[in-house]
Chains A and B, each alone.
Chain A
Amino acid sequence: MSEREICGDFEIYFENDWWIVKKISDEKIIGRFLNKDDALSKIASVLQSDENREETESVC
């Protein structure tokens, strides 16, 4: 296993020929990738996702 690299709540490491992307807070593996760039792209995509980010209908 390679040394873990951490960015906030996300970490990646190399294990058994796969780059693993893990969310630290809930220990959830969110992807396994053949190359590091794809693993980083996954984290970038999760961070930038619009999912559930829509406005709440707050009043003034």
Chain B
Amino acid sequence: MQDVHGEPSHHLATPELDLDLTARGGHVAPVVFHLPGRDVSPYALAPWLPEEFPEQPALLSVLRGDFFCLPFGGQENGPPHGDPANAPWQLTGETERSLTLYQKAFDSGGAIQKTISVRPEQHALFVEHQISNLEGHFSYGTHPILDLSHLDEEQGRITTSPFRWASVFTDSFANLDNGDTQSLKIGALFDDLKSVPLANGGTTDLTRYPARPGNDDLVMMVNEAATQEQPFAWSAAVLDGYLWFALLPTFPPLSSGSPTAVVPPPPGTDATPAASASKRSAPTSATESTSPAKIASPKKISPPPASFRKTNSSLSK
């Protein structure tokens, strides 16, 4: 391991990319993709070092890139986003093209195996979380954070696969007590990212970033059902001369015939896929048995409690 941005990290180097993965919290970043003639590094790292905030949960002091959350959001008896985003991971496997880590999560009781792999001539991370010994009702998801701070105003363009339900978070999201502000209308439903209601009237275009500086907002979307022609959900960010995109499975999978699935948050919105969607016909959590389950994306989601505060601000400030 080596220290990267102040945190001991495992390194994976392939012809396609170099990545660092923190042992604490399993945060992946930086990831430098070696595109033809150009290196790009889309993920954000917090503008502080872990040693500057040792009293904070590792989620915040280490904060960078992407990490796995179980539960997704806050909880009464554990750190925000759970042990997977805060506690140490043990390296259990390493090849020329993959890293495998293990964590026994003491808050949920689950045992989690994280594998990040790279395939030849593909500038992509293949991310898998395999969970066992988990029983109960849980939300979970990944948490990609992109760095758009170097772009001109509204240069970054973020879109997602078609969605069948979308809403601004149904409670305050910004830390208003600390003087933070939010711009969107709490609880507003919308069907077009280009026209989302503002708190003070009118609408704003959530496909353009950076925008609305100084505000912390949260929106949630549930994607349309998978089809043979569109078997996965996606989100994409067009940046400066390249695009970042994520592909996610739909849940249940296409073969089951169920329409329920979740699209990840547009990274530039600083949004997390937490929703009180259960009141509006969108399932928000999953009941897990002790059977192992492989998870590759946000599956079903639950809202964080009111006491849970926003955890990343590097995108919007």
Task: Say whether A and B bind each other.
Answer: no
